[in-house]
Structure 1
Amino acid sequence: MPDYSTYSDERLALSLKKDGQAAFTEIYNRYWKQMLAIAWNHCKDSTVSKDIVHDVFISLWEKRHLTDIQNLPAFLAGSIKLSIYHYYQKEQRRAALANKNIEFELFTNDEHKLDARFLQLYIDSIVEELPEKCRIVFRYSREIGMKNSEIAIQMQISEKGVEANLTRALKIIRGGLKKYGILALTSILLYRSLL
């Protein structure tokens, strides 16, 4: 049996995709404490933090065939933060139901910053799952700020190919945002940032 503790993250992710239960165990042993710290740092509740980390690792195992992970720690951290975001959404809905006769402001400055951070992490998790060429074009364009002509030279494709991949990436990201009802939140955050 191979010694998975010597494997790189990339090799572990590939082994996991091939039903590598031992690879999954190594990923869990390597990252659970770090993920628990991230979860606790955001919600300050040890029970909720443990539940979120548990759910993320279960989801990682269940979706191992469907996900191409390029950066294991970033993928796990993004999943943790997205789960916390969903936890906060549920808690907000519960609070709204419990206090339906009490008016309160939905977004304070701190909540606004937190929502913006979680939104960015959610978008990053969508980008992580884009087809390889779309992901690379998107990152060159949006994260590095390269022009389409520069990307075309770098990737050895036509500028039209760059535009097509960028259009496809943006369409997938918009679809992901609509799927989780985050498009409205994006509009609110954009509007507030312009004030």
Structure 2
Amino acid sequence: MKERRPPSDADIMMSLRRDNGHAFAEIYNRYWKTLLAIAYHHCRDKTLAEEIVQEVFIGLWNRRHKKDIDNIEAYLATAVKLSVFKQYLRQKRRTAIIEQTTATIVSTQEEEKIYTRLLQQQINNIVETLPSQCRLVFRLSRTEGLTIPEIANQLGIAGKTAEAHLTKALKVLKLKLNRPCLWLLLLAQFFIQ
């Protein structure tokens, strides 16, 4: 009895071009372990290696009519190595984008902190120029967070007087800051507290 030899790469590729699923299964069964070992050797991630090998086989099936392959094993091994390399580049790009985004966020936060400190210094300097009673009402309102009735009670003055001092302080700040956006930031900062 004559022993049946396995089909050659050329025979398998000819059958594959004719959409023969058995030819595809033959290629898969012959080479998947080797390809998985190659992928794992290069990426050291079993799940990623399996995905890469799967993508290579899908690519082979999708391009079966367009490819003229003499050595299937060499072709698939090269395809796996290229896929690992592409995956490495994608990951490197993702990491670079994340690092850039993080650096931008940190930089923006630092700029905002500096801007806030400068604005606070400017406000403090303006508040220092206010008359003493007006300055005291402003600080009790904005720094201590007291309400007008609480300020009036603590200082022993009428509520309307406390309100007038606070109004005056805010008007002076608005005039001296002389920037609408800074004024809005100031208002937002104090009303949020």
Structure ranking higher on relative contact order (CA contacts 8 Å, 6+ apart): 1
Q: Which TM-score applies when normalising by structure 2?
A: 0.49
Structure label with greater radius of gyration: 2
